[in-house]
Amino acid sequence: MVSSEPRLDQAGRRDPDLYGGISLGDLETRIYEWASQLGCHVRCRQTNNEGEYVEWCHDALDWADGVIVNPGSWTHYSYAIRDALELLGVPIVEVHLSNIEEREDWRRTSVVADLAAQRVIGKGPDGYREALEFLAGSAAQ
């Protein structure tokens, strides 16, 4: 499962220097293409609702072999999302389009970082490809 942050549906309207200047539709198309090339099956999901995000994490318990998460601003404070991710017994990759380590102080905190088998930060849309490659490699082992 690839779950994406609040406001990612507005990605094409956000600062292209930070977020890559790509629309959500184009990003999902790339993710599906990359997954196909790697022999992976993915489900892309985006929501602006924290409760729905938690429900998707619970749903993934029944079928996901790995999860790519981009909790966006929830990264910095949502223990509800953290607790939902903690239940997963599969590798989790935390992705951020922008480099949160070089932005405002409050963005440098991630309440999900310790759950992540891998973190991909500041690589724009290509960060999702790196995350998929990591999960595909994990599955092959």
96 is catalytic: yes
Among residues 53, 76, 96, 128, which one is catalytic? 96
Among residues 19, 41, 58, 79, which one is catalytic? 19
41 is catalytic: no
DSSP string, the chain: -EEE-TTGGGGGGS-HHHH-S--HHHHHHHHHHHHHHHT----EEE-S-HHHHHHHHHHHTTT-S-EEE--GGGGGT-HHHHHHHHT--S-EEEEESS-GGGS-GGGG--SSGGG-SEEEES-TTHHHHHHHHHHHHHHH-
Catalytic residues: 19, 96
